[in-house]
């Protein structure tokens, strides 16, 4: 865990030498204010999950952090130069073999060796020369992970990377992401709709709503020992997402007599 | 699944039956005098003439002339089409400058330009090559331009997020993404090139397939006309085969061609 100092005046403690630092960041599309003077710090090596309803601006925020949105002149936006993104769809170039996708744009000579090492790490050592369109969904996402990791990013951005995968594959991918994170220690921001995914993976969970971060929950419990935390946190986070739910895990939640699931009023 | 790059000539025996039957009927009708040689020469006579024309060097030398016209015309048309499509597809100002002109050009049937070309370039090789070049430019331009514009922006985003510069995005993402469209355009261009060859060679040719046909017409040599028709057909098939082979190699990654 990174060192954190409480800075006077700020609601949340500002980490020393944060990898990401946004202050009063806004993004407007025409008339609509999508992000509204938002503050965000991410410490080196920190694993942050970002929850939010559909259309709350998660992807917009992530694109800013990925340097894909140049519309932030005059705003306080600090992002590291070494960053990598994994999107919901793998976005492999279908006309390049898997290892070339992983090595895309890498400088230096030993590109193939580095790509190969990264692919082995995600368990795709046997598919180096495959065409991307022959990969399964899970394999494609693993290749996308390898492509991100081979760049040794300080900041790894994941935009709902597992949303399109089946539950079993997703479970494997969670384990893979955690082990890769523990080995390489990039700061991670994962955007997700899945409260359980956020609780299982992150050090800190943020909820984005109406362009602002409306909730921030730090999870102190060790990964793998979070069952107790889930009971309360789940209900809290879902509450921020506009769903009133009783405490407990998903298994008991759906059928719970007291739980009233309210569709979020748009 | 069919092998990449090889055209699918299905060799089911049944499919040969009807053309063969037609050929036999034709031969029989010619022999009995039902079809006089002035109307249409018998298949056997055509084969004989073909062999003679090859032997005497008449066919190869004229074919070479025609082939040269197509090759030069196509070379000019396709390269110009590619260059214009790249400029229009890869830059906004290029699009504003070029695309409207190309749309206007599209509205004019190229064949209708033949008289103008004759006025400008005389009746030598130039108007023939110019016609072929002008006609083959557009399919390549249109398809490549649309191909570039149609490349998935999410892939471009991906490239930029990994720090690719403009040149790298063009080289790794835009051009390979537009390649299938370019090949479609190329296939159209090859077909059109042969049609334009036939038309262009009606302009006072002194050599080439068209010259052979014109001469044969004057002497009512239907056998030579049929030989030339066969050669035109072979040229068309050859052109198609070339594109298929290129596609099989260049688009090996495409799902329809990828072997499971
Ligand atoms: N380029 C754009 N032009 C105009 N509006 C945009 C643009 N990009 C995003 N928006 C709008 O900004 C809002 C936030 O979009 P964003 O994609 O960030 O949502 P999200 O939180 O990622 O949603 P989801 O969970 O469905 O992916 C939406 O209302 C969207 O319509
Ligand atoms: Mg999104």
Q: pLDDT by residue (tens digit) across A14-68?
A: 546 888 998 889 898 988 999 998 999 999 999 999 999 988 999 999 999 998 8
Of A89, A91, A94, which has the smallest distance from its Cβ to B253's Cβ?
A94
At the top level of CATH, the class of B40-257 is mainly alpha
Q: What share of chain B is helix, strand, coil (3-state, %, to 5)?
A: 75, 0, 25
CB A104 within 8 A of CB B164: yes
Question: Each residue of A232-244: pLDDT tens digit?
Answer: 888 888 888 887 7
pLDDT given for residue A6 in this prediction: 40
Put simply, whether B58 touches A (Cβ < 8 Å) is no
Question: Each residue of A117-152: pLDDT tens digit?
Answer: 999 989 999 999 999 999 999 999 999 999 999 999
Phi, psi of A49 (to 5 degrees): -110, 140
Question: Each residue of A218-265: pLDDT tens digit?
Answer: 988 888 888 888 888 888 888 888 877 767 667 666 665 554 544 444
Chain A positions in Cβ-Cβ contact with residue B257 (cut-off 8 Å): none
CB contact under 8 A, A67 and B161: yes
The number of helix segments (H) and strand segments (E) in chain B equals 11, 0
A186-204 CB burial, b ≥16 within 10 A, e <16: bbbbbbbebbbbbbbbbbb
Question: Each residue of A178-203: pLDDT tens digit?
Answer: 999 999 999 999 999 889 899 999 99
Which range among A166-175, A225-234, B75-84 has the greatest average pLDDT? B75-84
B132-157 CB burial, b ≥16 within 10 A, e <16: bbbbbbbbbbbbbbebbeebeeebbb
What predicted TM-score, i.e. pTM, was given to this entire model? 0.81
CB contact under 8 A, B155 and A68: no
Beta bridge partners of A25: A38
Put simply, whether B162 touches A (Cβ < 8 Å) is yes
Separation of alpha carbons A146 and B56, rounded Å: 66
CB contact under 8 A, B177 and A131: no
Output the residue whose Cα is nearest ligand 1's atom 4: A29
Tell me, what DSSP letter sits at residue B111?
A: G
CB B122 within 8 A of CB B180: no
Mean pLDDT of chain B, nearest integer: 88
Ligand 1 pocket check: which of A27, A53, A58 to mutate, most ligand atoms within 8 Å of Cβ? A58
Separation of alpha carbons B207 and B64, rounded Å: 9
- H or E segment at B87? helix B58-90
Q: Which tokens belong to A220?
A: 């102190």
Question: Each residue of B189-248: pLDDT tens digit?
Answer: 999 999 999 888 887 778 889 889 988 888 889 999 999 999 999 988 998 898 889 988
CB contact under 8 A, A105 and B255: no
A60 lines ligand 1 (CB under 6 A): yes
Looking at CA atoms only, how far is residue B158 from chain A in angstroms? 7
Give the residue among B122, B132, B134 at the shortest CA–CA distance from B69.
B132
Please give the residue of chain B at the shortest CA–CA distance from A96: B253
CB B216 within 8 A of CB B228: yes
**ipTM of the prediction:** 0.81
Of B159, B162, B258, which has the smallest distance from its Cβ to A84's Cβ?
B162
Give the residue among B201, B174, B192 at the shortest CA–CA distance from B106.
B192
pLDDT given for residue B258 in this prediction: 54
Give the number of other Cβ atoms within 10 Å of residue A60's Cβ.
16
Angle B125-149/B92-107 helices, nearest 10 degrees?
A: 130
Output the residue whose Cα is nearest ligand 1's atom 27: A54
Looking at CA atoms only, how far is residue B253 from chain A in angstroms? 6
| Residues in contact with B33: Cβ distance below 8 Å, sequence separation at least 6, in sequence order | none
Q: Which tokens belong to B153?
A: 């922006």
Residue A92 pLDDT exceeds 80 = yes
Most B CBs within 10 A among A59, A104, A149, hence the mutation to make, goes to A104
């Amino acid at each position: 865990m990174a060192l954190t100092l409480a800075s006077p005046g700020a609601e949340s403690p500002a980490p020393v030498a944060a990898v990401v630092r946004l202050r009063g960041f806004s993004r407007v599309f025409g008339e609509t204010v999508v992000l509204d003077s938002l503050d965000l710090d991410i410490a080196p090596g920190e694993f942050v999950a970002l929850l939010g309803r559909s259309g709350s601006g998660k992807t917009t925020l992530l694109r800013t952090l990925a340097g894909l949105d140049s519309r932030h002149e005059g705003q306080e936006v600090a992002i590291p130069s070494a960053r990598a993104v994994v999107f919901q769809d793998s976005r492999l170039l279908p006309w390049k073999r898997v290892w070339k996708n992983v090595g895309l744009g890498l400088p230096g000579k030993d590109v193939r060796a580095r790509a190969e090492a990264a692919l082995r790490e995600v368990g795709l050592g046997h598919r180096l020369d495959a065409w991307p369109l022959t990969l399964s969904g899970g394999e494609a996402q693993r290749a996308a992970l390898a492509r991100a990791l081979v760049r040794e990013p300080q900041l790894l951005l994941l935009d709902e990377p597992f949303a399109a995968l089946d539950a079993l594959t997703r479970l494997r991918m969670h384990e893979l992401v955690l082990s890769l994170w523990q080995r390489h220690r990039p700061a991670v921001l994962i955007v997700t709709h899945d409260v359980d995914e956020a609780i299982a993976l992150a050090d800190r969970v943020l909820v984005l709503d109406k362009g602002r971060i409306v909730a921030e929950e730090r999870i102190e419990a060790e990964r793998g020992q979070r069952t107790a935390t889930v009971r309360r946190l789940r209900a809290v986070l879902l509450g921020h997402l506009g769903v009133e739910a009783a405490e407990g895990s998903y298994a008991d939640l759906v059928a719970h007599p007291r739980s009233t699931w309210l569709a979020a009023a748009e | 699944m069919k092998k990449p790059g090889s055209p699918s000539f299905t060799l089911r025996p049944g499919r040969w039956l009807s053309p063969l039957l037609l050929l036999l009927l034709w031969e029989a009708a010619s022999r009995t005098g039902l079809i006089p040689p002035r109307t249409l020469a018998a298949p056997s006579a055509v084969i004989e003439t073909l062999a003679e024309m090859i032997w005497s060097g008449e066919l190869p030398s004229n074919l070479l002339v025609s082939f040269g016209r197509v090759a030069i015309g196509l070379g000019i048309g396709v390269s110009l089409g590619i260059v214009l499509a790249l400029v229009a597809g890869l830059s906004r100002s290029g699009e504003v400058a070029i695309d409207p002109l190309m749309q206007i050009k599209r509205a004019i049937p190229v064949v209708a330009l033949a008289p103008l070309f004759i006025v400008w370039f005389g009746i030598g090789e130039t108007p023939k090559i110019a016609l072929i070049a002008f006609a083959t430019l557009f399919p390549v331009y249109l398809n490549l331009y649309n191909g570039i514009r149609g490349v998935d922006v999410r892939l471009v985003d991906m490239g930029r997020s990994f720090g690719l510069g403009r040149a790298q995005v063009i080289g790794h993402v835009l051009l390979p993404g537009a390649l299938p469209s370019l090949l479609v355009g190329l296939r159209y261009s090859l077909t059109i090139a042969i049609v334009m060859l036939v038309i262009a060679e009606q302009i006072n040719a002194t050599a080439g397939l068209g010259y052979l046909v014109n001469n044969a017409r004057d002497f009512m040599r239907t056998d030579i006309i049929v030989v030339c028709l066969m050669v035109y057909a072979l040229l068309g098939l050859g052109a198609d085969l070339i594109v298929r082979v290129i596609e099989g190699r260049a688009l090996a990654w495409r799902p329809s061609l990828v072997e499971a």
